[in-house]
Amino acid sequence: MASRARKSERKPGAPVPVDAEPSKFDRLVHERLRLGILSALAVNRTLTFSELKKLLHTTDGNLGVHARKLEEAEYVLCTKGFEGRVPKSEYKLTTEGRAALERYLNHMEALIGAMRPR
């Protein structure tokens, strides 16, 4: 059984071992706008399409495409309705979405920790 060298035992210039296990790095979350959507929903109970669009400084089409990908992955839930006669789409982070965001953040923290000198 091969053992990994601890960070303090690494030789200068030796590669830094980073856990690149695919299950810990979600490429769906990694895209900038999708990460923004998930992050915004993580700190807000719900947000409307218009609120997300304004918060993320993006276009209707761009937001729609990325929000749909997150819906298909069941990371966000979209409820469509009307407010008066105006259509209203409201987004909420699902349990699966929160877990995916947490895994992504943990992976990124591990990468940053491995890269920062002590």
Residues 6+ apart with CB under 8 A from 75: 28, 29, 38, 93, 94, 96, 97, 100, 101
Predicted confidence (pLDDT) at residue 48 exceeds the cutoff of 90? yes
In a domain, 52, yes or no: yes
pLDDT at site 102:
95
pLDDT at site 111:
86
Q: Which of 109, 104, 80, 81 is nearest to 29 (CA)?
A: 104
Helix (H, G, I), strand (E, B) or coil at 47: strand
Counted domains in the chain: 1
In a domain, 66, yes or no: yes
In a domain, 20, yes or no: no
d(CA 103, CA 30) in angstroms, rounded, equals 11
Q: For position 80, which CATH number holds?
A: 1.10.10.10
pLDDT at site 64:
97
In a domain, 17, yes or no: no
In a domain, 61, yes or no: yes
**pTM of structure:** 0.78
What's the whole-number average pLDDT of the chain? Answer: 86
